[in-house]
Structure 1
Amino acid sequence: MTETQALIENRPPSVAALFLDRVEATPDAEAYRHPVPSPSGQGPDGWASLTWREAADRVFALAAGLIDLGILPEERVALASATRVDWILADLGIMCSGAATTPVYPSTNAEETAFMLADAECRVLVAEDAAQLAKARRHRAELPHLAHVVVIEAADAVVEEGDPEGWVLSLADLEKRGAARLQQDPGLVRERIADLRPDQLATLIYTSGTTGRPKGVRLLHDSWAYMARAIEATGLVRPDDLQYLWLPLAHVFGKVLTAGQIAVGHVTAVDGRVDKIIENLPVVRPTYMAAVPRIFEKVYNGVAAKAREGGGAKYKIFRWAAEVAREYAKTSQDNFRRTGSASVPFGLAARHRVADALVYAKLRDAFGGRLRACVSGASALSPDIGFFFSGAGIHILEGYGLTETSAANLVNPGEAYRTGTVGKPLPGTEVRIADDGEVLLRSPGVMAGYHGQPEKTAEVLESDGWFHTGDIGELSPDGYLRITDRKKDLIKTSGGKYIAPAEVEGRFKAVCPFVSNILVHGADRNFCTALIALDGPAILTWAKEHGVAGDSYAEVIAAKETEELIQGYVKRLNEGLQSWQTIKKFRLLPRDLDIEHGELTPSLKLKRPVVERTYKNLIEEMYEGTREA
């Protein structure tokens, strides 16, 4: 048995047990770093730290507090909060009590929140603030199992007339209650952890629902313990790393990062405020960060917009540097694959050094200057954008996984990464391609099933453990996986040609620096069309520079100059496509797509059916007067 196999096969029964091991191994090492608002409310935030021992004190108090409330093993405790250190501590407290966490995005509306709480039969809700408390209060009659709401922001834990006695309490009160219980019974939490079995429910996490109502995915303690050890075994994350964690922890991608951190023992700086990312990066100076593709797209578009603002010469330099970066990345990756050396020809290396001094070094500084690697997941990253960052010295390791498989199933291996692929399977994970091209996965991370939906479980999970992902992909001879599209999202034109819309959409994002979101449509039609939403700040800046009338996004979008601008980029896109893939017509959307209107999931995935329903009139308008075959 190899060292890696031993690490995986000898894993503890739960992350709770792994957490105990971590605390005992490095009690005084820094575990978490979190922002603290300045006392005056003015100026930048400060940062405070928790050691593993200090984190354990809070986790044990929270676990004991839940036990004191009467929570039993595998009963569900919901957690509705933005990403913050309290989320991680509460999640660990829930697992250490033996209960199961049901994460809820704070952006989820009251009706869907109530659906999840009722479907999971949650006994307790840990709510971030008054807004999350109000959702539960509004639907309390539909939630007979919900015995308590624990509010993280203590000032928001306000009891109202009609609330049952003890129904609302603050997180601080729960910790005090737990600390008192531990004084009476010091071994209480350790006993609960020792009793945990690998096959017990640890997390009931609801799919983000790009189509239909979300389903509850049952993930066991063994799934998370396996993921933690598998991440450790890759060697991609090291004990001396500093991770910047801003991803939604209600998403399985964010949650698996917390499990991996416990196994490895590195420091994590936690702040879920997306509007603080640019401000935080130079302060935190992370060595490692995970993100979704939209973030890299926004950074790329932002850098391009800033170069344009600097005048024609500066923008010309940026475009030259971007092409050098892509050529450098493609050449070095190809050489590494063939020879094991990432060397490039002398002339290319010389051009790269000049571009680095003019463009890339400033970009790396904006990320804090120490970033060794980023992991990108949740959806596909445009290869052209990936090659740009790779050539600029910001190495994006694309990975792949699903809620149903505990998130981390494949990832690109360090310096051997290949842009455009999602890498190789983690140790202990198997991958195969079905006859119809669908990607199948098998590992200890695969779910136990959908909560209360055995027929839905049987549709995707075979008796021998193979999970049907619904994604179409290709495996290289040496084991790298490339995802080409969602099985259900493949477009078949009326002429019988299959098109992967995500591939076309990704190419357009690399070509057009003004795009925010794009949806390609063409199923059962005789040509493809697109709905395009533009990046507000970028297009407004362009409009001002070019004398385009209008002060608002809607006015600028309506201008013929804007349509001509985007038409030029569509033409560039089409030049690199097969004839049946080309975009014949497009419409600019009157606003960007967003989570609030239900068009994007909280992890910023496109909800195609919602967008197509919302803008059905624009789609039909593009096909008016055409003859459908």
Structure 2
Amino acid sequence: MQRVSHQSLDLFESVSKWGDSPRFFLPDANGYQSISWNQYGDDVRALGGFLTQGLGADDKVALLGQTSYSWIVAYSAIQSVRGVVVPIYPASKADLIEYFLQHSDAKALFCDQAFLTELASIDLAGLEQIILLDSDSGRTDFKLPVYGLAQAQEQGLGHREAFDQALSEVQAEDLATIIYTSGTTGLPKGVMLSHANLEASAADWISLNSPMIPEQAVDLHWLPLAHAFGIGAIMLGNRLGWQSYFATVKNVLDKFAEVRPHTFLSVPAYWEKLYLMVQAAGGDRAAFDKVTGGRLVFGLSGGAGLKKEIKQGFHELGLLVIEGYGLTECSPTLTMNRKDKFNFDSVGVPYPSVQLKLAEDGEILAKGPNIFKGYFKNPEATAETFDAEGWFKTGDVGQWTEDGFLRIVDRKKEILVTSGGKNVPPANIEQRYQDNPYIQHLIVYGDGKKFLTALVTLNPDAVREALGEPSLAWSELVASDALKALVDAQVAAVNQQLASYETIKKVYISPEPLSVEENLLTASFKPRRKAIYERYGSELEALYA
């Protein structure tokens, strides 16, 4: 089989190039602790040496933990010895963790200590050992062998030759990772991505974006590593020599002025918050530099659509926030706006190595070296997702603009049929609220009903400012006539743009936001329609009483 470059070889090429320069900055009691490229490479080799003693080519190893340096070391070590990484999102409930471990045939698990309690309550059949990401020593009181990370690395130091041999044998079509998709319905499916898939996508990304990024750029990273967006950002940093500062979901925006990043890759919610911070500081270029640290030259938003007003606002301040479109099955990107060709009403144009076309019903079809190998142990689903000519069926409905940009119109399978027989794509209505400053999410409801209703969640800061109520208790504000009038006005404005059967007749305003933790948003912050309907079913049904 053909030998090609892969993520672990990329890492060691950068280790040779950058040596003792810093790769990561980890928060500690004194600020930040730096980890050099050499240290990163040594840690991967040691842990990989440990894994060679019992792990074979194509064996599956799960990763369950919060964003950490140890998580990244484990990811690279597994792939370096021809293992297959199975990332598990840390917010997963115990039953899903059990499903991921058993369905993937995982032989080993890296996890944070905090997960041992949940693991003790589930079936771990097939799992042979656990390595703790956040402990140097192991445990002797568990039903499986449990090693500490430092303990495993110490044992691996004596197996350098075995590590180098395994690294040299990695093949292009070797399975690199199985990522379980957080779909809107049913059990998650395991997306199989090869080293060739990941390298093809990274090569396209780098060819388009690296000219905008300085060498050894400072990056501010908070994204969850179990998501393709999160670990993908780290692997791109390995190729481009980034110096990545770690932050958390809660403090990342507060770290800008201190870290002064050149690059920031994030989901829309954080770009929106950053933009509001800039506006609060004065709204001009000086305010932008003050809030961001003065060096931010590259921004990328992914996981969901970023409001057009935010993209335009940053662009007027001198920052083009790049946006694209893709799926986990596509490693994960198909299209992207770019510096010399962008349209804020679109998701960009196809990657250089990707072919796209629209089926007769408008579904986006894709081919390219980044398209996945199939769903793990699910040949039926794999066969269903490709057409007779081998085109991957994305499940999204698109439109081409006159100048060649792609717009996403709807999800093909998310169609509501009213009691009058009208087919209504809910996303076609929901996307009209994407740029609304007051509405965070609007979820259309009404399958089989005489008319449509919707669940509405709010942007508290914008609502408080509009109503002049900075301190009134949120529960009281949500119940107020003034807020109801504000939301009704937003809905009425959009209703004027719609056919009568598409209009929203009533809404339920939720005092709480949708969240990943409540399983109402996917890991990439997309609404889980079925879960939302189940959670708010009684409130929505009451609108028809």
Question: Does TM, scored on the shorter chain, surpass 0.5?
Answer: yes
Distance of aligned partners of 1:263 and 1:479 in 2 relative to their CA distance in 1, 3 Å threshold: farther
> Which structure has the bigger radius of gyration?
1
Deviation at 1:428, TM superposition (A): 1.3
CA distance in 1, matches of 2:433, 2:297: 28
**8 Å contact kept, 1:382–1:506:** no
Between the two proteins, the alignment pairs up a number of residues equal to 542
Q: What's the counterpart of residue 134 of structure 2? A: 153
Q: 1:387 to 1:506 in 2, by over 3 A?
A: farther
- Secondary structure at the residue paired with 2:319? coil
1:434-464 CA distance string (max 9 Å, x none):
1110111111111111111100100102465
Query: Is the aligned partner of 1:294 residue 2:269?
Result: yes
Residue type matched to 1:216 in 2?
G
Residue 502 of structure 1 corresponds to 427
The answer as to 2:247 corresponding to 1:266 is no
Contact 1:384–1:507 (CA under 8 A) maintained in structure 2: no
> Are the equivalent residues in 2 in contact too, given 1:293–1:381 (CA < 8 A)?
yes
Look up the match of 1:172: 150
1:212-241 CA-partner distances (Å, limit 9, x unpaired) = 111111111111222222222224453343
8 Å CA contact 2:63–2:111 kept in 1: the answer is yes
For residues 547 and 453 of structure 1, the distance between their equivalents in structure 2, rounded to whole angstroms, comes to 53
2:353 is aligned with 1:428: yes
Whether 2:165 is the aligned partner of 1:187: answer no
Shift of the alpha carbon at 1:155? Answer: 6.9
Q: Evaluate the alpha carbon distance shift between residue 301 and residue 575 of structure 1 in structure 2; reply closer, same or farther with a 3 A threshold.
A: farther
State the Cα deviation string for residues 21-63 of structure 1 (Å, max 9, x = none). Answer: 222233344322322233xxxxxxx123223222101111111
Please give the alpha-carbon distance, in whole angstroms, between the structure 2 residues aligned to 1:135 and 1:270.
Answer: 27
Residue of structure 2 in register with 1:33 after alignment: 25
Q: CA deviation at 1:358?
A: 4.8
Q: 1:418 to 1:529 in 2, by over 3 A?
A: same
How do 1:70-85 residues align onto structure 2 when only pairs under 5 Å count?
70-85=54-69
Residue in structure 1 matching 2:42, options 46, 57, 72: 57
- Root-mean-square deviation (CA, aligned residues, Å) is 2.7
Matches for 1:268-283 after TM superposition, within 5 Å: 268-271=244-247, 273-283=248-258
SS in 2 for 1:510: coil
User: What is the CA distance between 1:73 and its match in structure 2?
Assistant: 1.3
Distance 2:309 2:42 in 1: 47
SS of the counterpart of 2:333? coil
Contact 2:437 2:462 (8 Å CA) reproduced = no
- The more displaced of 215-224 and 236-245 is 236-245
Do structure 1's residue 66 and structure 2's residue 88 form an aligned pair?
no
1:519 matched to 2:451: no
* Corresponding residue number in structure 1 for 2:14: 22
1:366 aligned to 259, 280, 291, which one?
291
Looking at structure 2, the residues matched to 208 and 113 of structure 1 have their Cα atoms a distance apart, in angstroms, of: 13
**Superposition pairs of residues 83-232 of structure 1, within 5 angstroms:** 83-128=67-112, 130-139=113-122, 142-154=123-135, 157-160=138-141, 163-164=143-144, 167-179=145-157, 181-182=158-159, 186-232=160-206
Tell me the distance in 2 between the aligned counterparts of 1:455 and 1:287.
45
2:525 matched to which residue of 1? 604
The offset of 1:299, in angstroms, is 4.2
Q: For 1:147, give the aligned amino acid.
A: E
- Secondary structure of 2:413's match? helix
Distance in 1 (CA, whole Å) between partners of 2:125 and 2:63 is 18
- For structure 2, list consecutive stretches of 5 or more residues without a partner in the other structure: none
Q: CA deviation at 1:114?
A: 0.9
Normalized per residue, which structure has more helix? 1
Distance 2:316 2:3 in 1: 38
Q: Report the CA distance between 1:560 and its aligned residue.
A: 2.6
**Deviation of the 1:204 alpha carbon:** 1.0
Separation in 1 of the partners of 2:167 and 2:319? 40
- C-alpha separation in 2, matches of 1:257 and 1:97: 22
Q: In 2, distance between residues paired with 1:365 and 1:394?
A: 14
Query: Among the aligned pairs, what percent are the same residue?
Result: 31
The answer as to whether partners of 2:136 and 2:149 remain within 8 angstroms in 1 is no
SS in 2 for 1:512: coil
2:368 corresponds to: 443
Matches within 5 A, 1:205-604: 205-236=179-210, 238=213, 239-271=215-247, 273-299=248-274, 358-359=283-284, 361-462=286-387, 464-494=389-419, 499-513=424-438, 515-536=439-460, 545=469, 551=473, 553-604=474-525
Q: Aligned letter for 2:331?
A: S
SS state of the match for residue 210, structure 1?
A: coil
C-alpha spacing 1:276/1:159, structure 2 compared with 1 (3 Å): farther
User: Is the contact made by 1:31 and 1:266 (CA closer than 8 Å) also made in structure 2?
Assistant: yes
Question: Can you list the C-alpha shifts for 1:476-508, whole angstroms capped at 9, x where unaligned?
Answer: 354321111211224454556555433543433
Distance in 2 between residues matched to 1:373 and 1:494, nearest whole Å: 48
Q: Distance in 2 between matches of 1:11 and 1:494?
A: 57
Corresponding residue for residue 614 of structure 1: 535
Letter in 1 for 2:117: A
**Residues 503-550 of structure 1, C-alpha deviation per residue, up to 9 Å, x if partnerless?**
54343342333x3332122444443322112245665677783786xx
Greater shift, 433-442 or 423-432, is seen at: 423-432
Residues of 2 paired with 1:554 and 1:156: CA distance? Answer: 47
Task: Provide closer, same or farther for how the CA distance between residues 510 and 363 of structure 1 changes in structure 2, counting only shifts above 3 A.
Answer: farther
Evaluate the alpha carbon distance shift between residue 57 and residue 463 of structure 1 in structure 2; reply closer, same or farther with a 3 A threshold: farther
Cα distance, 1:508–1:476 mapped onto 2, change above 3 Å: closer
* Maintained 8 Å contact 1:225/1:259: no
| AA matched with 1:143 | L
Relative to the length of structure 1, the TM-score reads: 0.80
**Structure 1 pair 264–87 and aligned structure 2 pair: CA distance change class (3 A):** same
Per the alignment, residue 7 of structure 1 pairs with none
Segments of structure 1 that go 5 or more residues without pairing to the other structure are: 1-9, 39-45, 308-356, 625-629
Q: 1:297: Cα distance to partner?
A: 3.6
Deviation track 1:106-154 (CA, whole Å, cap 9, x = no partner) reads 11111101110111111111102x2222222221xx2221111111221
Amino acid at match of 1:57: D
With the length of structure 2 as denominator, give the TM-score of the two structures.
0.91
The Cα offsets for residues 548-570 of structure 1, whole Å up to 9 and x where unpaired, read as 6xx3x334322333222322333
Q: Take 1:494 and 1:204, find their aligned partners in 2: how far apart are those partners?
A: 41
Cα contact 1:227–1:260 (8 A) shared by 2: no
How far has the Cα of 1:592 moved from its partner?
A: 2.0
